[in-house]
Structure 1
Amino acid sequence: MLSRLRGNPWVRLALFLAVCACAGAALHANWAQARDAAAELPLWVLPAAVLSGMAGLTAQMLAWRALLAGLGSPLPRRVASRVMFVGQLGKYLPGSVWAFVAQVELARDRAVPRSRGAAATLLAVGVTVAVSLAVAAVALPLSSAEAARRWWWALALAPLLLAALHPRVVGLGIRLAARPFARFREVAEAGPLGLGGRAMASAAGWTLVAWVPLGAHVWLLTWAVGGDAVRSLGPAVGAYALAWTLGLLVVFAPAGLGVREAVLVVALAPVVDAGAALVVAVLSRLVMTAADLAWAGLAVVLSPAPEPGADASHGGPARAR
């Protein structure tokens, strides 16, 4: 019964419309909060920040795609974009688990077994957390001592989490996690899960690359509200890396709502006052919501819908283009 509901196109359409409505409501709420501040910015700032956010999301998608390919299910870039960017709209529902479920189910439509889709998505979260904390651990102690002092425990985890990305550690974790599900037919047919060092290095590299444009959008907003162009760079990149990570880990907050803002206000204190930092936090929320919706819309337009009756139960990898 549950399987039939998951595959029912009307159920999926209703869920997609509900997620879009939640994301649209979030965009409207963010715009209502940021409208006055946005009106005082140069006209080019917000579009440039949205493009920077979209570039960062692109690199994160490529990191997830590299992990999926390493697990044995390569996807064409356009297809991977549709799966990830549409699935990620689920984070605007209460509880980040919905983005995870949507991404796994959308990948299954493209002949990716759920076991591989779930493993790639969980690994992508792990890589994002490890690399992001490493970026914050480098940037914040040099630029925002208060933020480093307040969240020292998170920054201290960075080297341990980076070490945990070693393929042998990851492989052991995958095998242990998959053991309770080995009796399920789909898991057995997908075969054993393993990940090579090349795929993990590629994912970590793309995640690191993502922080160039992601940090740039916060730096641009900080400069636009009065921060010094040079002094704002370190706090902007480090603050958003830490804010993104902590927001990701607080699963009950839709898209990290409230968590990111709190971190940004503290971390940007050395370069702008609290009021300006709060404006940056609200504008950043608006920018990244717009980037999420823009990429989801583009992905739907640019990538074809899956063929009717597509089934991932055989576990065969899709051919990458």
Structure 2
Amino acid sequence: MPAMRRGWLTLAGAGLAIACLVLFSRQVAGLVSDGSIDLLGALPQLVPASCAFLVAYAAFASGWHALLLAGRVPASWRVSSGIFATTQFGKYLPGNVGHHLGRVALAASYGFPGATVVATMVVEAGLVVAWMAVLGLPLLEFWLGRLDLDVPALVTALAGAGILLGGASVVLHKQRRHPRIAALLEAVDPLLRPDRRSKGLLAVSAALILAGIVLSALSLSLLDPGGTLLSFDAFPITLGLFACAWLLGFVTPGAPAGIGIRELMLTEGLTPLVGREQAVVIALTFRILSTGSDLLVFLAGLGMLSGARRRHPG
């Protein structure tokens, strides 16, 4: 993709994020001025929700560590998790790619082979996107039901599978025309065609990433003081909503940490479940929680890497 086109996409993504953030901020300001919401009342839910979010972080870091082991990188859990944790705060930099670039650079400073690190991150992103897409299907069925469209769950599942397969087909087709995609797929290939040990590690990584996603959605649900989002009927919808909001923020270039976009989507999605006022409070509190947790994880990562010996290849 030409640099000029990438620049325009990033600018458009940043504009979309700013517009969403302004709309969400106006909702918050309007409800606060009317006395319709009490932000201080949401603070007690922050403790259990933060615990779930931090455990989710550990699951994600462990998932990447398993991929490194599958790629024959002799990394300790402390160092790999420290790298993962330290660089996550980079997603708040303009462009929404700082955490990815930072992880590659920091891993290289500890002697990790760059091609393998990139390959593990591509597989990691693929697993996350695949899980998020699958977990987002209940939300699609929920909204189809609200539109009085009687669509069987099997049809919804098949449609989701078709979208995933279609996306994979596009990537494989573009492989012939784009050397960068071809190089990425070539680097990823050893991880996708591994021996029995690496197959097990790949499965462990997929399971840990799924656990991290579910725990993140649980953290969101725990912010509801009434407990509605924790119910058997509502949690799958909340999980799907979290997945869709994350995906939208992930694919939008120029939106640091998906800010604005995810809050607006969470507000709109949670409103049918808990009402507009409570949805705004939950979305705002979740952003505060996630940003605060990112900072804590960053500091923890620095502590994990302190004293670890850096080594350079060759």
> TM-score surpassing 0.5?
yes
Q: Secondary structure at the match of 1:236?
A: helix
Question: Which residue pairs with 1:135 in the alignment?
Answer: 135
Gaps (5+ residues) in structure 1? Answer: 1-29, 182-186, 315-321
| Matching of residue 214 in structure 1 with residue 195 in structure 2 | no
Note the C-alpha offset of 1:304. 3.0
Question: Which residue pairs with 1:69 in the alignment?
Answer: 69
**Which structure has greater helix proportion?**
2
Note the C-alpha offset of 1:114. 1.3
> TM-score if structure 1 supplies the norm length?
0.70
Work out the number of aligned pairs and report it: 261
Note the C-alpha offset of 1:268. 1.4
Residue type of the alignment partner of 2:101: V
Question: Which residue pairs with 2:6 in the alignment?
Answer: none
Note the C-alpha offset of 1:140. 4.9
The alignment's C-alpha RMSD in Å is: 3.6
Say whether the 8 Å CA contact 1:66–1:199 is kept in structure 2. yes
Residue type of the alignment partner of 1:126: G
Structure with higher RCO (Cα < 8 A, 6+ apart): 2
Note the C-alpha offset of 1:155. 9.9
> TM-score if structure 2 supplies the norm length?
0.71
Identity of aligned residues (%): 26
Question: Which residue pairs with 1:271 in the alignment?
Answer: 273
Residue type of the alignment partner of 1:110: Y
Gaps (5+ residues) in structure 2? Answer: 1-24, 150-154
What does residue range 1-321 of structure 1 map to in structure 2 within 5 Å? Answer: 37-41=38-42, 43=44, 45-138=45-138, 140-142=140-142, 145=145, 156-157=159-160, 161=164, 177=180, 194-195=190-191, 196=194, 197-222=199-224, 224=225, 227=228, 229-230=230-231, 231-307=233-309, 310-311=311-312, 313-314=313-314
Assess, with a 3 A threshold, how the Cα gap between structure 1 residues 268 and 233 changes in structure 2: closer, same or farther.
same
Partners of 1:252 and 1:274 in 2: CA distance: 28
Note the C-alpha offset of 1:252. 0.9
Note the C-alpha offset of 1:128. 0.6
Q: Secondary structure at the match of 1:72?
A: coil
Partners of 1:46 and 1:192 in 2: CA distance: 39
Note the C-alpha offset of 1:283. 0.8
Q: Which moved more, 1:64-73 or 1:195-204?
A: 195-204
Residue type of the alignment partner of 1:122: V
Partners of 2:283 and 2:144 in 1: CA distance: 16
Assess, with a 3 A threshold, how the Cα gap between structure 1 residues 67 and 82 changes in structure 2: closer, same or farther.
same
Q: Deviations over 1:1-30 (max 9, x none)?
A: xxxxxxxxxxxxxxxxxxxxxxxxxxxxx9
Question: Which residue pairs with 1:5 in the alignment?
Answer: none
Partners of 2:189 and 2:272 in 1: CA distance: 46
Partners of 2:284 and 2:158 in 1: CA distance: 24
Q: Deviations over 1:162-212 (max 9, x none)?
A: 8989xxx9xx99xx758659xxxxx9xxx9961123333222211111123
